[in-house]
Amino acid sequence: MNLNDREVILYAFAIEPNHDRQTVERYLRQYPEIAEDLIDISSERRLREAAWVQSNDAIADPHWKEAWEQFRQHKPQGVSSGQAVSPFSTFRGQAFAKLAETLSVPRSFLTALRDGLVQASSIPERFVRRLAQTMGSSIDSLRNYFANPQASLLGRAFKSDDKPSQQGQVTFEELVQCTNMSTEQRQRLLEDCKDYGLDRGRPAEG
Amino acid sequence: MAIPLRKQTNDGSIYCRPNSVEEALEVLLKLSPQEVARRSCIEDCEHPEYVPSECMLHFLRHAELAGSEDVLCDLFVVLRQRILKAVPVRKKHVFGSSKTGANSVDLEIRDAVLDKFQEMICADRIKYDERLDFYECRFNRAIDKLRATARKTAWHEAYRYVSVDSANESNDPSEEVELALKAMKSPMYAEEVDFLYRSKLRAAIISLPPDERRVIELYYVDDMSIESNDGETSTIVKILGCTEKTVRNRRDRALQKLRDALGEEDA
């Protein structure tokens, strides 16, 4: 077990809704090599909950300014530094499926957007805003990503002997019409199409 | 809807925030960032506008939700205060004086917890740190993990040269100590034990060396047997990987210390 796995197990145990004997025993049986740490966490939680009086008085925090500066100076995700990073890079596997579910769109629909198969100018502003909020990304970084599909495609890994090239792009609305989805999902996305596209010029055609 | 978490559980599903956190986030995301900052200063967790720490962290992780650096800074400072309060520091008598000072080991633990959290929240700004998903689920419990790790390290550092006396006497816990230990386990007992007494006991348990504290936790709180003939049953001997005599010695030493500590306080 590496340090990272160990830490993840300890966190998973710490946030269990119950630390009853069954839960404690289950973890102890499954991870006997970290038994001491598991017991320590259980003990910390019980002691905190059993007799904890939190004072309302502020506690001196002499280093908060340095800490804040340090936090501020760390560039948020999505801010490009040299090579553009795909906002989708951290949404893989289950996380990607969850993202699609949260947005209430089929996975294949989101895949087409991710893979640059949609004309950037046709993607409704309202949809981009919703996507940015759900992904925890900025609207600008998504705009840049959709506007430079070639760059984003080149940044991804391909298992092919041929150089990757951009396939023919479709409009957002065409994608909505040709993807299998429920009537409610389609209606909501078509509602988005009444909004302005990324070019902010005129409503997406169709 | 709040931005979903990304950390996967063992079975491949994604961790979900408890409903109470999701509901609080839903309300907060509809408010102006300034209003969120105002509410974050409410300290009474029973107050209807109280902002759970999980939500505050959500705003800090997704800076665009805070709208401005001022709001982000306010949330950052308040969340640090909450962490500081989650790691209490005991007072101790200054030798040769009537004054009291802060327990240095506790201060070390508090600093370590705050530093580790700072490291994670900064790293998360550059690359999503999935560990913080645990904090967005149950903030105080995730802090329990940090505190446990920090306490273990600090204790070993502080007492590495202190030898442990072996206790030969067999100590049966007083009824009062036993009742208070049970109160740590179940709220059912809580009303039967004076709150102050429990607080003193809590401080005394925290002062125990880790190996003694673990025996107390398993023996009194989890109701585990020290040893058993049944090979399937979890016992303290099996879990801690030591002999029955060692476990009994640790338990007896711990009980003696708890009795002494409570006796001193009452004197």
Compute the radius of gyration of chain B from its Cα atoms: 22
pLDDT in tens, A9-18: 999 999 999 8
Query: Is residue A159 included in any domain, yes or no?
Result: yes
Which class in CATH covers the domain with range B175-266?
mainly alpha
ipTM of the complex: 0.86
Confidence of residue A112 (pLDDT cuts 50, 70, 90): confident
User: Average model confidence (pLDDT) for chain B?
Assistant: 85
CB A130 within 8 A of CB A203: no
Q: How far apart are CA B142 and CA A7, in angstroms?
A: 11
pLDDT at A155 exceeding the cut of 50: no
Contact list in A for residue B126 (CB cut-off 8 A) is 74-77
**Domain with A99 in it:** 94-193
Count of domains forming chain A:
2
* % of chain B exceeding 70 in pLDDT: 83
| B14 to A98: CB separation less than 8 angstroms, yes or no | yes
Residues A41 and A122 in one domain: no
Q: What is the mean pLDDT of residues B207-222?
A: 88
* A79 in reach of chain B (CB within 8 A): no
pLDDT score recorded for residue A32: 94
> With bands split at pLDDT 50, 70 and 90, how would you rate the model's confidence at B250?
very high
Q: Is residue A177 part of a domain?
A: yes
Is there a contact between B3 and A32 if contact means CB atoms under 8 Å apart?
Answer: no
Instruction: Please tell me the distance from the alpha carbon of residue A39 to that of residue B168, in angstroms, as a whole number.
Output: 26
Pair (A110, A171) in one structural domain:
yes
Which residues of chain A neighbour B121 with C-beta distances below 8 Å?
Answer: 71
Residue A160 lies in a domain: yes
Residue A203 has pLDDT above 80, yes or no: no
Which residue ranges make up each domain of chain B? 19-159, 175-266
A98 and A187 part of one domain? yes
**Is A144 in the B-facing interface, judged by CB distances under 8 Å?**
no
**pLDDT grade, residue B170 (50/70/90)?**
very low
Q: Contact at 8 Å (CB) between B211 and B236?
A: no
Residues linked to residue B93 through DSSP beta bridges, in sequence order: B100
pLDDT of residue B66: 87
DSSP 8-state secondary structure symbol assigned to residue B221: I
pLDDT digits (tens, 9 = 90+) for A85-100: 677 877 777 788 888 8
Q: How many CB pairs under 8 A join A and B?
A: 171
Distance CA A93, CA B13 (A): 10
Please say whether the beta carbons of A46 and B170 come within 8 A. Answer: no
Q: What are phi and psi of A142, to 5 degrees?
A: -70, -40
Look at residue A107 and tell me whether its pLDDT is greater than 50.
yes
What are the tokens at B245? 């005599």
The answer to whether B192 contacts chain A (CB < 8 Å) is: no
Q: Is residue A86 part of a domain?
A: no
Verify whether the Cβ–Cβ distance A28 to B81 is below 8 Å: no
Contacts of A4 by beta carbon, 8 Å cutoff, 6+ apart: none
Confidence of residue B190 (pLDDT cuts 50, 70, 90): low
Nearest CA in chain A to B2: A134
Say whether residue A91 is in contact with chain B using an 8 A CB cutoff. Answer: yes
B193 CB within 8 Å of a chain A CB: no
